[in-house]
Homo-oligomer: A and B are copies of this chain.
Amino acid sequence: MKVTIQDIAKAANVAKSTVSKVLNDSPKISKETKTRVREIMEQMNYTPSSIATRLAKRSSHNIGMLIDMARESEYMNPFFLNIISGIESVIGPMKYELTIANMQQDDPERNVINRLVRSGRIDGLIANNAIMSEDMVKTLNSLDFPFVTIGEFHSFPVPWADYDNAEGGRMLTGHLLDEGYRDIAFIGGEPLERIFTKRHQGYRQALLEAGIPYREDRTIHGVADENHGYQAVLELLRSDHPPDSLVCMNNYSAFGALKAIQQAGIAIPGEIGIATFDDYPFSPHTNPPLTSLFIDTFQLGATAGRMLIEVMNQPDLPYPSLLLQPKLNIRESTLKRKAGLE
């Protein structure tokens, strides 16, 4: 059947321990035996059983990515392949495999920790902060099991990688200020959402730095979808003194806002400027194209992967954490000065 290390040993007239050493390129084996054994392996089409190797080496050489397929679809979908490609780009060359696991909270028997961690299926774990409960963190820590979350984590010291959402808010708002806008509204986001809090905080800070007073009524809370963006902006435009520009929580929010503005026949970027978080899927395609904040999700994955490897190799160092910087894609929707010159 399957050819094993034993078969090679027999064919080469050596002990299987010798074959094993050839496999691991041990310096104690002579050049001659190595080449001879390798030739035989080639001939017999031998590939070592990774499972046996793992058992003997006590390492699965496998890292796990935990997601909640039920919940995350909408938000993660467009980015997921990028993220895992990023992870793969760093762990792949180190011969680690990537296992995707679906956490099913409804089935405690198929508990994630047992299924993956205790069973030795994976050597390290990456998960979105949204699904990483404090209980899980505790358990993982008590097992000295290496993991990294994608997304900031502050209630506990854990290793994490994220984009700097506050800085993003500053960048978008700062850009609008640079372009001469003065009355900037923030559209979308629930007060308790972690991401909203960060983004909004950057917005406030940019205002503060520019010496512009923060106005409570310029933040329109909500689910950050197209409909909310539309309704919110419609209402703003109806008021006596509408804002002269908008920062939107995401592309859908911005798209709704855009509709409302166009319907009201107000000029972009001349009369109102609009900038938004996320570059996907609409920003480059709308009319006018939207100034927006690009987040390199591949890099995010790669960073998380690198951090995990680091944590796995040096468990005793303090937990690392890293904020990546977003990139501002300036497009027509905020170019007030340029528009003014025309």
* A-to-B contact residues, CB < 8 Å: 45, 47-52, 54-55, 60, 62, 67, 69, 72-73, 76-82, 84-85, 88-89, 92, 97-102, 104, 114, 118-121, 226, 255, 259, 281-282, 285, 287
Contacts and interface: CB of A to CB of B under 8 A. Distances in A.
Contacts of A102: 85, 88, 92
Given A51-B55, A99-B98, A100-B88, A226 B81 contact: no
This chain's copy number in the assembly: 2
6 contacts: A49-B120, A73-B81, A77-B80, A78-B281, A84-B100, A88-B102
Nearest to A252: B285
- A67, A89, A100 — most chain B CB neighbours (10 Å): A100
Given A98-B99, A282-B285, A285-B226, A50 B104 contact: no
A50 B81 contact: no
Contacts of A69: 81, 85, 88-89
Contact of A120 (B51, B78, B120, B285): B51
A50 B99 contact: no
Given A73-B85, A77-B79, 18 more contacts: A45-B118, A47-B114, A47-B119, A48-B119, A50-B120, A51-B60, A67-B81, A72-B81, A77-B82, A78-B78, A80-B80, A80-B81, A84-B100, A88-B102, A92-B102, A99-B99, A99-B100, A259-B287
Contacts of A50: 119-121
A99 B89 CA distance: 15
A52 B49 contact: no
A41 B271 CA distance: 70
Please give me the 7 A-B residue pairs with the lowest Cβ-Cβ distance, nearest first.
A47-B118, A281-B281, A50-B119, A69-B85, A80-B81, A77-B81, A88-B102
Contacts of A255: 285
A55 B51 CA distance: 6
Given A49-B119, A226-B285, A285-B255, A82 B92 contact: no
A118 B2 CA distance: 9
A229 to B, nearest CB: 11
Contacts of A82: 73, 77
A188 to B, nearest CB: 16
Contacts of A259: 287
Contacts of A285: 226, 255, 282
A342 to B, nearest CB: 20
A77 B298 CA distance: 12
Contacts of A47: 114, 118-119
Contacts of A121: 50-51, 97
Contacts of A85: 69, 73, 102
Contacts of A49: 55, 119-120
A92 to B, nearest CB: 6
A102 B305 CA distance: 15
A113 B87 CA distance: 21
Contacts of A79: 77
Contacts of A62: 99
